[in-house]
Amino acid sequence: RTRAGRTSSDWTAAKSREFAWDVARVVRDDILGDRSAIARAQATVLDPEVGAGGRVTSLGFLRHGRMYAERLNPDELQGMAPEPIPGAFTEDVIAAAADIGAASPEPLLRSYAWRYLRGVRDPNLTQAFLYSLASDGDANVRCQAALALGYLVDEPGVRGALMRATVEDPSTEPPTRGCILSVRAAAQRALQSDDELRAASL
C-alpha cells in the first residue's frame, strides 16, 4: 500500500497475531529468567558454605533486580528499585540476611545486609535494626539501620528511637565510605513521610 510516497506491506490479522505472540514469548522468557535467577540468588543467600561476602552479593541481586546485576558493575551500583522484587525475600532469606547484619564481624557486610533489607517491611526485623542503630560501633551500619527503619516507622519503639538518633547519635557527618548521610540525617529522613521526601526531592 502506498502512503505519503512510501510503500509498505499490509498489516494483516495474521501479522498482528504473529507480533503479539512474539511479544508474549519475550515477556514469558524474561519472567522465567528472572524467576530462575531469583531462585539461584535465594539459594546462595541461604548457603552458609558460600561465605558471608558471596551471600551478601546475592542479597544485593535480590534487592536491585536483574537489570542492575547484569548491566552494571556491582561496585558502581548507586541506587535500588523503590521496592524489593515481589517474592524474593522469603522468611528464610530475611532471617539469613538479618543474621549477617547482626552478627558479621565485618562492618561493610553488616551495612550492606541492612541496605539490602531496606524496604522489606517485616516487623520481625524491627528489633535487629533498633539494636544496630543504638549500639553498632560503625556509623555506616547505623546509617543503614536508620534508613531501613523508615519502612517500619509505625512499629512500636521505632519512631522514638529515630527521634533520639537525630539528636544523640555521635555521627553528624557522613561516613567516609558508604552512606551519603550522617546517622542523624538518616534518622531524620527515615521519619519523613513519602510526601515530605517527594517535596524535598523536588
Query: Tell me: the pLDDT tens digits for 12-60?
Result: 777 666 665 655 554 444 444 467 888 999 999 999 899 999 999 999 8
Kindly state the average pLDDT of the residues 51-74: 71
Q: Report the alpha-carbon distance of residue 149 to residue 84 in Å, rounded.
A: 15
Phi (first) and psi of residue 105, to 5 degrees = -75, -10
Nearest to 147 by CA among 109, 177, 120: 120
pLDDT (0 to 100) of residue 197: 66
Distances (CA, A) of 159 to 149, 150, 166: 9, 9, 11
Using an 8 Å Cβ cutoff, are 165 and 131 in contact? Answer: no
DSSP H or E run through 3: strand 2-3
**Rounded (5°) CA angle 99-165-178:** 55
pLDDT (0 to 100) of residue 61: 85
Q: What pLDDT, in 10s, does the model give residues 137-195?
A: 999 999 999 999 999 999 999 999 999 999 999 999 998 888 899 999 999 999 998 77
Burial of 5 (0-12, 13-18, 19+ CB in 10 A): exposed
pTM above 0.85, yes or no: no
Kindly state the average pLDDT of the residues 101-114: 96
pLDDT (0 to 100) of residue 22: 56
Q: Report the alpha-carbon distance of residue 173 to residue 159 in Å, rounded.
A: 22
- pLDDT tier at 11 (50, 70, 90 boundaries)? low
pLDDT (0 to 100) of residue 193: 82
Q: Report the alpha-carbon distance of residue 39 to residue 150 in Å, rounded.
A: 28
Q: Taking 60 as the threshold, does the pLDDT of residue 134 lie above it?
A: yes
pLDDT (0 to 100) of residue 29: 43
Kindly state the average pLDDT of the residues 57-67: 77
HEC string of 16-75 equals HHHHHHHHHHHHHHHHHHHHHHHHHHHHHHCCHHHCHHHHHHHHHHHHHCHHHHHHCCHH
Q: Report the alpha-carbon distance of residue 43 to residue 49 in Å, rounded.
A: 11
